[in-house]
Amino acid sequence: MMGNGRAARERVRSPATAAPPRRLRREGTREERMNVIARYGRARSARALMLIALWAALDGAAAPAAATQVGVPGMNRRGRMSERDRYYALVTQGLHLTTSDWREAWDRSDGDAAARLYVEDAELRLPDGSRAVGRDAVGALLADAPKRLGTVELRLERIDASGRMAAASGALTFRHRSPDGRTRVVSGYHLTVFVQENGDVWRIRFQVLVVPPAPDDPP
């Protein structure tokens, strides 16, 4: 009976909680992993997307075990809640500081300032299909992107973290003013993976900004 129940649960398992393909988990290149994120991004839940983003950003390296990291949830039962709250408060503060600096750099089309917020081998993907790999390339892309995409509002609505790695997702809104004075507003979401460097500085390892096609957009 228990076996039948397990089989039933497997049959109704939500795609949103499904792990990436096993072959990719073991053998996939970084490019393949990033492409999986783009494909999963159209249909998966925010939590599943963040897990996939973390998996992709590891680039073959294992994340530190949460139970062995100072200040990470799960260290011990007695201090679990206080350590967890303190850890997430510090992580959240750091991610918001980086995101605030990112928004200011975007508004100024300041590619140099934006580049400093990314790690050396970071990757960025924008809604118009443009892509950059490496800090310098990301900075160059962000110096030009506001001209095409307009201003942006990006929110951190969900944060998952472990050790020195964190993933955030949330809504984003672009507002672009055309030469005739009209303002076009489009909404989407982002996935951003951060890593902590130099003690307490959170920099971006991987970031994808997605605007789903409107119903009347061509395929």
- pLDDT, tens digit, for every residue of 94-135? 999 999 999 999 999 999 999 999 999 999 999 989 999 999
Whether pLDDT at 164 is above 70:
yes
Residue 203 is encoded by which pair of tokens?
Answer: 């920099």
Name the pLDDT band for 150 (thresholds 50, 70, 90). Answer: confident
Lookup: tokens for 77: 């039962």
Beta carbons within 10 angstroms of residue 24's beta carbon: 16
In angstroms, rounded to a whole number, what is the distance separating the alpha carbons of residues 142 and 158? 24
Mean pLDDT of 46-63: 49
Length of the chain: 219
Report the pLDDT value the prediction gives residue 183, as an integer from 0 to 100. 82
pLDDT attached to residue 66: 36
What average pLDDT does range 34-55 have in this prediction?
51
pLDDT confidence bin for 83, thresholds 50/70/90:
confident
How far is residue 143's CA from residue 84's CA, in Å, rounded to a whole number? 38
- pLDDT on residue 180: 74
Q: How does the average pLDDT of the chain come out, rounded?
A: 73
Give 43's Cβ-side CA count (13 Å radius).
8
Give the pairing type, strands 118-125 and 201-210.
Answer: parallel
CATH topology of domain 64-210: Nuclear Transport Factor 2; Chain: A, (3.10.450)
pLDDT tens string 176-201: 877 777 888 889 999 999 999 887 78
Using H for helix, E for strand and C for coil, what is the string for 16-78?
A: HHCCCCHHHHHHCCHHHHHHHHHHHCCCCCHHHHHHHHHHHHCCCCCCCCHHHCCCCCCCCCC
The pair of three-digit structure tokens given for residue 96, joined into one six-digit string: 């918001």
User: What is the token pair recorded at 197?
Assistant: 């460097």
pLDDT band for position 175 (cuts 50, 70, 90): confident
40: its two tokens: 């999963």
pTM of the model: 0.65
